[in-house]
Structure 1
Amino acid sequence: MSLRTRQKKDRSNRILEVARTRFQNEGYGSVTIESIAAEAEVSAVTVYNYYESKANLLLALVKESDVRLISQLEDLADNLPEDIQRAVAEFGRIMRKHAMTYLTKSTWREVLAASILEGGKQFGTTYRSLDQALIELMARIVQTYQGRGTLARNLEADMLANTLFQMQNIRFFLFISDENQSEEEANLQFHRDVAVIFADKFKPNLKEVK
């Protein structure tokens, strides 16, 4: 990596870290590009050149968060427990734990609002592509249990994975919308959701396993 490229990356990382901290402490709406630039010791023009808008700064933080999150979920997919209910519940727990480690509830609310308001723009399309990567990881988990014969093989893995992910997303929306709800409470609710989904009708037929 050339010195110029390294310097550009360092500036970009510094801008992101300042933005993350200010969004957390002051609220997304109160923070300006100019204030981020001043603390990052760059010009506002530099911030605009790198990210174009405040919304794109927020999106860059989400992308950075998802890279770290996917690494954790891949570890889960490589070391799955015997029971798929435990695996799916752990998937949700990891997502909520990581989310709260990286951004506050108020900042995540801004992320979700932007994903809706800018649904047809870069923010919305990129946000959906990040979600799709997580759905594909869930599908990998589903397929593993189908391969083990502990989950019915006639289920469409992609469809089930999407359903499970969207169910976890609903719980996440409810979690971040309630400042008083703890991670523990959200985890318990999602665990109950998963137990309902994996009722007897989803168990494999004994003839199918043979």
Structure 2
Amino acid sequence: MAGLRERQKADRKRRILAAASALFGQMGFDAARIDAIAQRAEVSVGTFYNYFENKADLLLAIVSMEVEEVLAQGEEVLIAPPETALGAFETLIHGYYDHSLIYLTKRMWRQAMAISIQQPEAPFSRRYRELDAALASQVRRLIAVLQARGDIRPSLDSAALGGLVFNDLNALFTEFALDEGQSLERLHQRLRAQLVTVTSLIASEEPERRHEPAEGMQAGIVIAPRG
């Protein structure tokens, strides 16, 4: 029974999030009413308040769901990054960008950004910054993986470099959210132009050794004699 109740709770929460995402996108955050969200989700208003305190709390839950999913996708990139640093960065960041409009519109992103700035000490803003920090940490870990593989100079501070890359991709996304006319394709083009320059500056000085096995990795391999 406990398992059934948990599944029912998860289903109700999922329906509320889906209803809110749809209505926020169609009507805007301010115009969407809680009773309309509850009706679309097929729950009572009282049930809605069992899950969320207000619309800002609901918007934050949608943002959290979005970021948690892209973080999970990003982990796959870290496990098996593409062959070049440029390809690895693009794959990771395209995942962030392309997923960003699944649950939220640009207008919803602007609303979330505004709340986080206007109420810096509120739980919404703190959680928003935590999500940003998690994304930045993933970028830093990708850099460490690429350094270990020999694509990026090991002398570079991966934390500092990751912060620079994340701040840049975040600025590009903010500009994208502010410009209703900018397409995802254009965002990708702008990102690539900057990553081409960045990766050329941070590339390993010994590219011919990038994918050679580390010393000792050949141990145990038997090479058959010729003839």
Query: What is the TM-score with the length of structure 2 in the denominator?
Result: 0.84
- Could you give the per-residue CA deviations for residues 57-95 of structure 1, whole angstroms, max 9, x where no partner exists? 001111111122112211222221222122212222221
Question: What's 1:175 paired with?
Answer: 176
Other-structure match for 2:45:
44
Contact 1:18 1:39 in 2 (8 A): yes
Q: Is the 8 A contact 1:149 1:204 kept in 2?
A: yes
Q: Which segment drifts farther, 166-175 or 152-161? A: 152-161
- Aligned to 2:125, what secondary structure does the other structure show? helix
Instruction: Give how far 1:127 is off.
Output: 1.0
In 2: Cα distance, 1:176 partner to 1:59 partner: 17
User: Cα gap change, 1:3/1:81 in structure 2, threshold over 3 Å: closer, same or farther?
Assistant: closer
Stretches of structure 2 lacking an aligned partner (at least 5 in a row) = 210-214, 216-227
Structure 1 residue 205 displacement after superposition? 4.5
The secondary structure found in structure 2 opposite 1:58 is: helix
1:2 is paired with a residue whose SS is helix
Task: Please report how far the alpha carbon of residue 20 of structure 1 lies from its aligned counterpart in structure 2 after TM superposition.
Answer: 0.7
Decide which structure has greater helix share: 1
Q: Distance in 2 between matches of 1:11 and 1:174?
A: 35
Specify the code of the residue in structure 2 equivalent to 1:190.
Answer: L
Read off the aligned partner of 1:75 and give its amino acid letter. Answer: E
Using the TM superposition, give the Cα deviation of residue 5 of structure 1 relative to its aligned residue in structure 2, in angstroms: 2.5
Aligned 8 A contact 1:28 1:107 in 2: yes
Q: What are the residue-to-residue correspondences of 1:6-17 with 2, within 5 Å? A: 6-17=7-18
> What stretches of structure 1 of length at least 5 have no aligned partner?
none
Give the aligned residue type for 1:150.
Answer: D
Q: Distance between the aligned counterparts of 1:22 and 1:149, measured in 2?
A: 48
Q: d(CA) in 2 for partners of 1:25 and 1:79?
A: 38
The one-letter amino acid of 2:75's match is E
User: What letter corresponds to residue 88 of structure 1 in structure 2?
Assistant: F
Most deviating of 180-189 and 77-86: 77-86
Amino acid at match of 2:101: M
The equivalent residue for 1:143 is 144
Whether the 8 Å CA contact 1:92–1:187 is kept in 2: the answer is no
Amino acid at match of 1:27: G
Query: Secondary structure at 1:81's aligned position in 2?
Result: coil
TM alignment of 1:84-163, pairs within 5 A? 84-163=85-164
Identity across the alignment (%): 33
